[in-house]
Structure 1
Amino acid sequence: MISQVFSRNGALAKAIPGFQPRQPQTDMAEAVYQAITDNSQLVVEAGTGTGKTYAYLAPALLSGKKTIISTGSKNLQEQLFHRDLPLMTETLGYSGQVALLKGRANYLCPERLSRQMVESHDGHADPTLLSQLVKVRSWSSETKTGDLGECDDLAEDSPVIPSITSTNDNCLGKECPSYQDCFVVKARQRAMDADVVVVNHHLFLADLAIKETGFGELIPEAEVFVFDEAHQIPDIASQYFGQSLSSRQLQELAKDINIAYRTELRDTKQLEKVADRLYGAAADLRIVLGEPGFRGNWRDMVGSPAIARELVRLTDALELAEEVLKLSLGRCQLLDAAFERTIVFKARLARLCDTTIPGYSYWYECSKMHFTLNITPLSVAEKFREQIQIQVGAWIFTSATLAVEDDFSHFSHRLGLEPAKQFALPSPFDYSSQAILCVPRFLPEPNSPGLANTLIEMLTPVIEKNQGRCFFLCTSHHMVRSLSAGFRETLDLPVLAQGETSKQRLLAEFLELGNALLVATGAFWEGVDVRGQALSCVIIDKLPFTAPDDPLLKARIEDCRLRGGDAFSQVQIPDAVITLKQGVGRLIRDQSDHGALVICDNRLVSRQYGDTFLRSLPPIPRTRDLGNVSHFLAEINQDSKFDADASPTPEV
């Protein structure tokens, strides 16, 4: 039955113009169908171009079982729900119900919008934010879903969003006056009634870790669980099976206390003082934690006198809030919810300050305005395995990057999986003719002084020869800044840099310009799909080993050593291989794509472990001569005239 769907005269061939049967796609679809039939675990690495989305959608729909599909990001989630799933349901004549379910931070909270509108008219509101609130209120009377992504007048990074959406902490649950109009409740009900529900990893794992107050389980029970971009799950699971406390949470708590005072409890002046003290204590702790963009060892910081002093102040502020809020319980629902959060945050802060409990990594992270304190379990295998045992059914994990030299143990062990079957499917692309890989000669050692200047000098001719159309993927923000500044001095072409605007705007500008160099880090290593000659050169500054001072990595290394393992080969290399495979995957996205890959790290050819990386990559012809790269690019550019106006839209 499954093979017929993917055959030359099958349902997909009739529905999709130009569809060609691909044996790897059929093999994956049959393996997924068998896993669903047997209620077993399946792990599949499907190379770029395999067509894995259809390969799991078809058997899932044909099985007739309740299915949850989890993707790596909200953008991929929407692409699956709005593009791929409708095509498959129509093609297969599927009559079941489908639903899209996002995290509560994506849905408008009518109660919080109402409170913000009242608060914004006290004379202290930012006129820009007030204008956005008015637009959202107008939109709220028309929307059926409450999904803020559908509100065209609201930017995706608008600062007003946190104040008009709910969190696990501040949601009033069934006690909310607007409960009957709650878009989260309605979205969950649609998911409960649906036969196929599309979620994302963050939502799925948050639901496993925390049963949301007032709603029970946000994600309904199912018989089939499919995880696309599954390589992300171990790290995301670590976040949700741990604990954290952020200055943003504390300051949102302070803000809600202040709103309660200004709107309903004007006779309790002390609430304003409590809110100010709590807000200030969080801000002061952020200052003493140091520079933004830093991730450090929290266990080391707790002993610092300056940090200890601010922690005492923060604890005192939470204790004072608890005492004062207790006096007004029952008078205001917003304040009652704030009281419960205060108790939770106080206990969480106490747990964060006790760094003696083994089996966890204790770390902190700073942005420009905020900090987050974190406790992360070194292994989520036991907890994840427990969830699989509780929820009996088929569990299917797929991605283009799961294996290291065809070995899946690194991925499977981190999640405690025992798959009945695990295998890798080759990409259908002809890498021998479509691409070239260069590790240039005469490269300085990674992290050596002046590395950025050397790379700029070496690679400027290649980038110019290709007329831009290049991603330069870096392993640090510092390198992004150094390279973008240097290339702007040497190139006449446009140079775009991550961090100067949003990811979506950068991609749109890259395509619109048609001759740009885009210098970026983490966010652009995966989940970016630029097809055709719009992107024909990808340069990587060095092998993407996690920084050795990263506290979570250090804890995992120590844990591996305590178990008698070799941390470099069992932790560091597998992580770096999977990340590199993701970066390399940006280059060839279609059978008509051609391009050059340049990896600026001699360790690929000078160190024994370099073979592990090379054997894990697609079979791309290799060279050490950048002249060969320029020649290859000149040939493909001659064969394929670039038309910026006809460039495809990127899929993020």
Structure 2
Amino acid sequence: MENLNSSTLFAENGPLARAIDGFVPRAAQVDMAAAVGQALEDKIPLVVEAGTGTGKTYAYLAPVLATDKKVVLSTGSRNLQEQLFHRDLPTLIKALDYHFPVALLKGRANYVCIERLGLLSDAVPQLSAEGLADLQKVRRFLPLTSTGDIGDIPGLPERSEILPLVTSTNDNCLGRDCPHYQDCYLVKARSRAMEAQVVVVNHHLFFADMAVRDTGFGQLIPDADAYILDEAHQLPEIAGQYFGQSQSSRLFVDLARDLRLAYKIEAKDMAQLGKAADQLERCALDLRLAFGGETGRGQLRPMLARTEVAAALERLKESLDFSYEVLKLCMGRGEQLSQCFERLISVKAALESLTRVEDKGYSYWYDAHRQHISFHKTPLSVADRFAAELAKDEVSWVFTSATLAVGESFAHFCADMGLSRCRTLQLDSPFDYSRQSRLCVPRYLPETNGAGRGRFLADTLVDTLAAVPGGSFFLCTSYQVMKEVAEVLRARLQRTVLMQGEDNKVRLLEQFSQDGRAVLVATSSFWEGIDVRGNALQCVVIDKLPFSAPDDPLLSARLEDCRHRGEDGFARVQLPKAIITLKQGVGRLIRDVTDRGVLVITDSRLVNRAYGADFINSLPPMPRTRSLTTVAEFLSTLE
């Protein structure tokens, strides 16, 4: 299609105004679109912070559709990915009469695996009653779907225990040898992506693709002329996950179960196979037990020095060696056995790499879940690796988010991403915060890490929440506080109180919006990428400033690295990250020029610590108060 410049695209009588009801061009949106158009042409990377309400999605989509370039759009979450593909992109495709194919592509864990689902019997011994009910939901869904996307399955919890059993991993996928290869939902999705002119992915898949290319074994997403990365503030952390290594004890349990299955189907006479599978599963579970009953993250080096952990790890390695010797005897007897053998070699090598903890420039850490333990080796910086990507010729890069700058500086983001040469653009929100909002930091708050803090905050704010004419978000920095808050509000507040985790995120938001007066209590996944407009959301409570936990192993490794280089770790790492996270949470409140509402931050450090000013200076210019009575007066004007 013909190239159109930003002033033409966004003109009062332009293609967008003609096709979209109520479309009004905004100066900041036009400025951003012009900058994106320039970046697509001259290949100089562009970094844009576009305040809430700028209309940044249209500002980068319109120039993309106005060119004939192949473009990959990457977003921060599957939620945003779907919104972009199903809502924003079709609107602009129609407005600009765009005729090239577009595609949505997610990671393999988002698609039902026909082969693995077929192998499951109706009475899977390890499943609970809820898991078996979820299995039936998947089975009923399959004849009705063309995409196989598990996010479309009604009533399926986000963390259902059935998900690892009905989706594939790199390790257990049979690839072209699978009898269902021609019908595979993942294969079809990747095929559509390769043929499309615009492909919508998410950051996890984007970096998984870079990691796969590093190994020299293929690619997951197509090559493109331009990459537009929305919600770019998430990139440094997600990149670190993929440029490092990870392994969960769940891999060993899954391998043991698939080994048992292969034994029953392809080598019934090999009793040693069953014994090897049982031993491998037991040793993997024992390794989790050796780390104690607590869940959460920690440094891996000191844990591996503990006698009981070292012994459990050694037993796991011995069981892998035993399985290896037994499987060698079965080679050539079946496809499932051959695949298990290849997976075994891979997990053995990864375990060796992750438990050699001497390499410099990495954080070695573990993450303990209720039933599994995962080991991680994460680079302290992705700047050099990403700079190599940016150095490639003939490719355009655009990084954008509502929260990239700290104050007016992009230095933190650019340093993290290896952006030595780029253009930056900071666009303020068009909203009138002085009229539309109030910010309250109440007095007499408890210590930020005190026991029972969630119950105290909920008791303190129950009257304020009751006075909100519309709905409220109560955003917490821990699951413990979230549960305490929800428990108190359900007992004391005559409203629907929803809690994260009790249903799929999309359905929770639908229920929240339809109710109009509900309170949604949530943690980190609701701090960003959520767009609720109008009276359904008139109050956002944030329980405390979102500093990463001081015992977070990745953070402590980065702070140690800063100390070695003579830098202030708090100013270089902790403070910028917390400011950007808070800006994201605050951004949930005012989403439209007609929205009005109250922000309550229950952390007195915002007013009594010197760094509180850094937070305030990065937030929208909301009139501030410390009085909940003043907040109630403002709420009374929202009726």
TM-score, normalised by the number of residues in structure 1: 0.92
Map of 2:21 onto structure 1 = 17
CA contact (8 A) 2:110 2:167 kept: yes
1:8 aligns with 2:15: no
Map of 1:30 onto structure 2 = 34
Q: Determine the C-alpha separation between the residues in 1 that align with 2:10 and 2:465.
A: 41
- Write out aligned runs for 1:555-634 (5 A): 555-634=557-636
Letter in 1 for 2:628: L
Letter in 1 for 2:488: G
Summarize the Cα distance change of 1:147–1:94 in structure 2 as closer, same or farther, 3 Å threshold.
Answer: same
CA contact (8 A) 1:43 1:419 kept: no
Gaps of 5+ in 2: none
Count of aligned residue pairs for this structure pair: 635
**CA-CA distance at 1:450 after TM superposition:** 5.7
Identify the range of structure 1 (210-219 vs 343-352) with the bigger mean alpha-carbon deviation. 210-219
Map of 1:352 onto structure 2 = 354
Summarize the Cα distance change of 1:17–1:445 in structure 2 as closer, same or farther, 3 Å threshold.
Answer: same
CA RMSD of aligned residues (A): 2.4
Summarize the Cα distance change of 1:527–1:293 in structure 2 as closer, same or farther, 3 Å threshold.
Answer: farther
Letter in 1 for 2:423: K
Letter in 2 for 1:402: L
Q: Secondary structure at the match of 1:197?
A: strand
1:106 aligns with 2:117: no
1:115 aligns with 2:106: no
**CA-CA distance at 1:600 after TM superposition:** 1.5
Q: Determine the C-alpha separation between the residues in 1 that align with 2:436 and 2:130.
A: 50
Q: Determine the C-alpha separation between the residues in 1 that align with 2:510 and 2:42.
A: 44
**CA-CA distance at 1:74 after TM superposition:** 1.2
Q: Determine the C-alpha separation between the residues in 2 that align with 1:200 and 1:391.
A: 23
1:48 aligns with 2:52: yes
Map of 1:646 onto structure 2 = none
Of 510, 515, 518, the residue aligned with 2:517 is 515
Summarize the Cα distance change of 1:389–1:247 in structure 2 as closer, same or farther, 3 Å threshold.
Answer: same
**CA-CA distance at 1:503 after TM superposition:** 3.1
**CA-CA distance at 1:125 after TM superposition:** 8.1
Question: In the TM superposition, what whole-angstrom CA distance separates every residue of 1:142-183 from its partner, at most 9, and x where no partner exists?
Answer: 644333344558665443332232211112223334333333
1:361 aligns with 2:363: yes
**CA-CA distance at 1:6 after TM superposition:** 0.5
Identify the range of structure 1 (262-271 vs 432-441) with the bigger mean alpha-carbon deviation. 262-271
TM-score, normalised by the number of residues in structure 2: 0.94
Map of 1:234 onto structure 2 = 236
Map of 1:181 onto structure 2 = 183
Question: In the TM superposition, what whole-angstrom CA distance separates every residue of 1:9-66 from its partner, at most 9, and x where no partner exists?
Answer: 1111111111111000000000000000011201101111111111111111112101
Of 254, 257, 262, the residue aligned with 1:255 is 257
CA contact (8 A) 2:158 2:504 kept: no
Q: Secondary structure at the match of 1:63?
A: coil
Q: Determine the C-alpha separation between the residues in 2 that align with 1:136 and 1:599.
A: 41
CA contact (8 A) 2:516 2:535 kept: no
Q: Secondary structure at the match of 1:70?
A: strand
Map of 1:542 onto structure 2 = 544
**CA-CA distance at 1:544 after TM superposition:** 0.8
CA contact (8 A) 2:454 2:482 kept: no
Question: In the TM superposition, what whole-angstrom CA distance separates every residue of 1:409-430 from its partner, at most 9, and x where no partner exists?
Answer: 1111111123431121111111
Q: Determine the C-alpha separation between the residues in 2 that align with 1:107 and 1:594.
A: 40
Question: In the TM superposition, what whole-angstrom CA distance separates every residue of 1:126-153 from its partner, at most 9, and x where no partner exists?
Answer: 8876776677567656644333344558
**CA-CA distance at 1:612 after TM superposition:** 0.8
- Write out aligned runs for 1:407-422 (5 A): 407-422=409-424
- Write out aligned runs for 1:135-534 (5 A): 140=142, 143-152=145-154, 157-211=159-213, 216-390=218-392, 392-448=394-450, 451-452=453-454, 454-466=456-468, 469-534=471-536
**CA-CA distance at 1:629 after TM superposition:** 0.5
**CA-CA distance at 1:527 after TM superposition:** 1.7
Identify the range of structure 1 (580-589 vs 497-506) with the bigger mean alpha-carbon deviation. 497-506
Q: Determine the C-alpha separation between the residues in 2 that align with 1:129 and 1:482.
A: 27
**CA-CA distance at 1:440 after TM superposition:** 1.9
Q: Determine the C-alpha separation between the residues in 2 that align with 1:112 and 1:106.
A: 14
Gaps of 5+ in 1: 638-652
CA contact (8 A) 2:157 2:502 kept: no
Identify the range of structure 1 (605-614 vs 430-439) with the bigger mean alpha-carbon deviation. 605-614
CA contact (8 A) 1:185 1:215 kept: no
Question: In the TM superposition, what whole-angstrom CA distance separates every residue of 1:507-561 from its partner, at most 9, and x where no partner exists?
Answer: 3443444433332221111122221111111111211111111111101111112
Q: Determine the C-alpha separation between the residues in 1 that align with 2:350 and 2:133.
A: 37
CA contact (8 A) 1:43 1:398 kept: yes
Identify the range of structure 1 (15-24 vs 148-157) with the bigger mean alpha-carbon deviation. 148-157
Question: In the TM superposition, what whole-angstrom CA distance separates every residue of 1:557-582 from its partner, at most 9, and x where no partner exists?
Answer: 11112122111111110000001001
